[in-house]
Structure 1
Amino acid sequence: MMVFSKSICISVTIAAIFIISLSVVNGGKRKEDQGTDHAIQSAQKQPRLVDSCISDNDTTVPPSHQDTDHASQSVKKEDDEPTTRRPLAVNNFDDCLSGYIGNQSKIVLLLDYDGTLTPIVARPELAIIPDETKNVLQTLAGMPNVHIAIISGRGLGDLKDMIGVEGLTYAGNTGLDISFPDGGEFKYPISEKDQEKLKKLIETLQAQLCKHSDWVEDKGPTLTYHYRAAPEVLHAELMERARYLILDAEFKAGKAHCALEAIPCVDWDKGQAALYILNKFFPENWREIAIIYVGDDVNDEYAMEVLKDMAVTFRVDASNKVDSVAKHYLSNPDSVLAMLQWVERHFGKRMLQEDSDRNLSNN
């Protein structure tokens, strides 16, 4: 009996040593993978709506959140689009922003570009930012307590060229490429395998579809298939065919205005990019800062979902017939401009008051 007991003790001891050894080895491996991955993981710790690519026949819709004052039934969407309720109309920016901003001295503006700062046009190069909007962005960028990031599906270089305002953070390719005002950059690591698959997908789309003035835009880590210039009667067919080819190539199919984006199946979207940017701006206390997010398409919904309990969110939609995670809707880029002008006045007055108080204290 004693011999049997000793055998059990020896076996347990050997097993314990083996488990401890595995823990040490795995711990060492984890330390080696830190660095760039740390920032990515910190953004991905936040609650996510979607954690993987959705198959072509997946019609799952995330749980709905009903607004007691303005509830409406959710509807099913294609792919993994978040869906909640109809956003609320904005009658007065004082009503929806003054109480939220309160006495907070800093604000972060997270803005989409096409359809948000500019109207939707036939070709991307025609989406010129209006002078008045550009001037407001320049003024806001010069305010020390205002931080602005443009998060767009456009390529990073293209986005910078189209806006041309210094002092902004630019996030291209739905946030896979980010450039900060201090010269810092972030690039989500895209595998060589995905890069090769994207090249083949470009060739496939061009060979099978691009026969009716529709075309493919190569943006580096992503691509956009534009079908707006094709005859309208073909739009639905072209969109569905392109969507099938994108999903078949194992990419996410992100919807835009008369276009589809092929995005690598990585755990990163505009929501994760927004969190990364906020952590970059205010690594210790960004949850205490006023945040406004404005966007007009499905890709923006992921950011608004992540920020829904921490920010004021606006969906830009002329019809107000789109269910959205956003709290409010704005009818067009002119309404977005009016909101930016409100922020400019609000923080401009605050700066004047602070200067006045500072002068009085010096005297």
Structure 2
Amino acid sequence: MPKDQVAPVISRLEEFEQNMPGYLNSNYKLAILMDFDGTLAPLVNNPANSKMSVELEKILRKLANHPQIFLSIISGRGLKDVQTHVNIDGVTYAGNHGLEIEYPDGSRHDFELPASVKKNYTAMVKELKQKLEKNGAWVEDKRVSVTYHYQGTPDELKDEQRQLAVQICQRHGFRANQAHEAIEAKPPVNWNKGEAALYILKNQFGDNWSEEVRVVFAGDDTTDEDVMRVLKGLGRSFRIASDAQVQTFADFRLPEQNVMTDLLRWIARVYV
């Protein structure tokens, strides 16, 4: 069982090859899996305003069109939401922490929630909106998972509202995960970003995917740790975090979101 650790830091382009000499090879297929918010795009108070930098998007489009590269975005956002914000063809998109997956050809895989869970979800969203959409906080209903955003709440009220949100989610049987000034409520099923990543890789490359393809994953949040955990020893993963002591299953830490551009540059140098 892999253990989390304080990961070594990579802060500029040259350090990727220095720390992973020869890992990338254009003779091998490469699977790139990434989160969106805080990874491909900087975190912002209103997720509707989230946007990738021009340079990062340009590199990403080149990588998405490369015949040796498979690209997938695995996000906590709803599927259509993350597709709208990335808007790049040839990408496999996974929304709601992998509960919804859509491939470039339009085919889908949707994790079917039990009827009782759906009923509890509806009641949970209703209660969250009634009790906690106030003081600048709001509820993002993503159909199968929900995010309670409290970035805009006054500091002296944040903790009280956060704790109540956690209690409401748990009372309805959902798992409440701490995100960046938000609570993400996920259904009580054996499925997360890690399971989704494995499903996507197996679907694309077969059961022996780890022998067929090199894998790179990047994410910035606690929910991304599920991917880092399952890929430990099978790929290379990067946790974006400013905290030098953050415990992570990732192989390396990127201190700032903009280092993601260097990560993609490193990949492009080899493949494009």
Deviation at 1:96, TM superposition (A): 2.7
Question: Are the equivalent residues in 2 in contact too, given 1:177–1:187 (CA < 8 A)?
Answer: yes
Aligned 8 A contact 1:110 1:148 in 2: yes
Q: Could you list the runs of 5+ residues in structure 2 that have no partner in the other structure?
A: none
Which of 234, 237, 259 is the equivalent residue of 1:313? 237
CA positional deviation for 1:322: 1.2
> Whose relative contact order is higher, 1 or 2, with alpha carbons under 8 Å and at least 6 apart?
2
2:221 is the alignment partner of 1:297? yes
Unmatched segments (≥5 aa) in structure 1: 1-62, 66-83, 349-363
**Partners of 1:64 and 1:237 in 2: CA distance:** 35
Normalization by structure 2: what TM-score? 0.94
Say if 2:197 is the partner of 1:197. no
**Which amino acid in the other structure matches residue 282 of structure 1?**
F
1:10-89 pair list within 5 angstroms: 65=3, 84-89=4-9
Q: Report the CA distance shift for 1:134/1:103 in structure 2 as closer, same or farther (over 3 A).
A: closer
The answer as to whether partners of 1:169 and 1:179 remain within 8 angstroms in 2 is yes
Q: Percent identity?
A: 35
Q: Which has the higher helix share?
A: 1
Equivalent position of 2:201 in the other structure: 278
Residues of 2 paired with 1:326 and 1:237: CA distance? 32
Kindly provide the CA deviation profile for residues 62-94 of structure 1, in whole angstroms up to 9, marking residues without a partner as x: x773xxxxxxxxxxxxxxxxxx21111125111
Q: Structure 1 residues 284 and 202 mapped into 2: Cα distance closer, same or farther (>3 Å)? A: closer
Q: Which residues in structure 2 correspond to 1:168-247 (within 5 Å)?
A: 168-247=91-170
- State the distance in 1 between where 2:103 and 2:264 align: 21
Would you say the 8 A contact 1:104–1:290 is kept in 2?
no
Q: Distance in 1 between matches of 2:271 and 2:140?
A: 39
8 Å CA contact 2:26–2:68 kept in 1: the answer is no
Q: Aligned Cα RMSD in Å?
A: 1.4
Q: What amino acid sits opposite 2:72 in the alignment?
A: A
Question: Number of paired residues?
Answer: 268
* Mapped contact 2:39–2:218 kept (Cα < 8 A): yes
Query: Contact (CA 8 Å) 1:141, 1:167: kept in 2 or not?
Result: yes
* 1:338 aligned residue (259, 262, 270): 262
Instruction: Say which is worse superposed, 219-228 or 254-263, in terms of deviation.
Output: 254-263
Higher strand share: 2
**Matching residue within 73, 79, 88 for 1:156:** 79
Q: Specify the structure having the higher radius of gyration (Cα).
A: 1
1:277-301, Cα deviation, whole Å (9 max, x unpaired): 1011101431121101100011001
In 2: Cα distance, 1:197 partner to 1:319 partner: 36
* CA drift at 1:191: 1.8
1:122 is matched with: 45
- How far residue 177 of structure 1 moved from its aligned partner, in angstroms, is 0.3
Q: Secondary structure at the match of 1:333?
A: coil
Deviation at 1:207, TM superposition (A): 1.6
Corresponding letter in the other structure for 2:269: R
Structure 1 residue 211: deviation in Å? 1.9
Q: TM-score, normalised by structure 1?
A: 0.71
1:322 to 2:246 alignment: yes
CA drift of 1:104 comes to 4.7
Letter in 2 for 1:346: V
